Structure 1
C-alpha cells in the first residue's frame, strides 16, 4: 500500500469529499488501482477487483458500466485532475523555490525529490506508465501540468544559472529535453524495471548529475 503522503491517499480523500463517493466506491477504486498496478489493466478482471474490495461484483457494475469505465472515469481523472496539480505545486516548491549555488545541486535535489515521490506512489506510477500510450486524456493532462507548473520554474532556474556562467548557451528547451528524460529514465529503472537490484543510490544519482552536466555545463 501507498504511504501517508502518496498520491493514492490524497486522491481517495479528494474523491470522497468532492465526489460524494461511498465507502464501497472508494474500496473499489483502491482495489482497482492496486490490481491494475500489479497485473496490468487487461489482465485484471472485475471479479478480482470485487474480491479485493470486499464487495459483490454486481456492486461495481451499479457504479461503472464496464471495467474500462472504471479506469477512464475514476482512476485516470482522479490521478490527473485531483493529484497531478497538487503534486506539481509541491514539487516546484520543494525543488525550484530553494537557493542553490550550483546547477549540479538543483539536479541532485530534483532526482532525490522524484525518487521519494516514486517510492511513495509505485502503484499509480505503474498504471501511468502502462496506460499513458493508450489514453490521450492522460497525455494531455500531464502535458498541461508540466507546461503550466513545472516548465516555467525549470526555465527560470536554467536562466539563472546561464547568467552565472554555469550552463551552455543553448536553447532552454534543449536543456530541458536532456534533463527530464534522463531523470525519468533513472527513476523508472530504479523503481519499476530493477526494483530489487543492489545499487548505491547516492553514487548513481551523482553519476547521473555528472552525465547531464557534461552535456549542458560549461567547463
Structure 2
C-alpha cells in the first residue's frame, strides 16, 4: 500500500470527522504531507503545497484557514488511530493483556507492533515526530491517553516479569522509559533522521529487541 493510500485509510478511520473529502482536498492534504515531511512545517509555504497539489493557493485557504489548521488536519487522523481512546484500549489489550512465555516475547510484540504502524504511515509519523514538541495541540492528547489507558497496564506487565524474577529490579518507571526511548529512538533514526539510508529493517528491529532483552533480563 502506498503512503497516499495509507493516508486515505487513516482519513476513513477518523470516525469523528464527518467531512466528505473531495479529490482536490485529498490532493492538498497529500501534497502537504510530502512537503512537510521533506522540509518541515516551518520551512514549508502554502504556495509550495498549492503548486505540488496543482491548485491555486486560495483553494487551500477555502478549506484550511491557516497552515496550522492544515497541519492538524493531517495529523488528527493519525492521532485517532494511534492514540484515540478506542485504539489506545485495543493497543493496551493486544500488548499488555497477553500472556507471554518470556520477557523477550513481550518486547518483540511491542516493538514490532509499533514498527509495522510507523512503516505503514511513515510520512505522517515523520511530521508528527518533527512537530509534536512544538505544538501543544499535538502533544497533549498523547500524554493524556498514555496516562489514562496505557501506563498502568505497562507498569503492571513490568512488575509481573519482575515478580517472576525475569527482569532486573529497577523501578518500573525506569524500565518503561528505557523501553520507550530505545524503540522510539530506533524508529526515529530509520524514518525521520535517516530515511534515505538503505536500512535492513528486520535486522535493526531484531538488534533493538535483543539490546533491550540483554539489558533488562536477570542474568
- Measure, in 2, the Cα distance between the counterparts of 1:204 and 1:22: 38
> Any runs of at least 4 consecutive aligned residues in structure 1 with deviations exceeding 6 A, and if so which?
none
Structure 2 residues not aligned, in runs of 5+: none
3-state DSSP of counterpart to 1:20: coil
3-state DSSP of counterpart to 1:18: coil
Distance 1:166 1:77, change over 3 A: same
Aligned to 1:2: 3
TM-score (norm 1): 0.83
Alignment of structure 1 residues 136-175 onto 2, 5 Å? 136-175=136-175
* Aligned-CA RMSD value: 2.7
1:119 aligns with 2:119: yes
Aligned to 1:44: 44
Larger mean CA deviation between 62-71 and 139-148 belongs to 62-71
- Measure, in 2, the Cα distance between the counterparts of 1:186 and 1:21: 36
Aligned to 2:79: 80
| Aligned-residue offset at 1:183 | 0.8
TM-score (norm 2): 0.83
Aligned length: 216
3-state DSSP of counterpart to 2:208: helix
Aligned to 1:34: 34
- Measure, in 2, the Cα distance between the counterparts of 1:57 and 1:181: 40
Q: Is the 8 A contact 2:81 2:87 kept in 1?
A: no
Distance 1:87 1:35, change over 3 A: farther
Q: Is the 8 A contact 1:3 1:120 kept in 2?
A: no
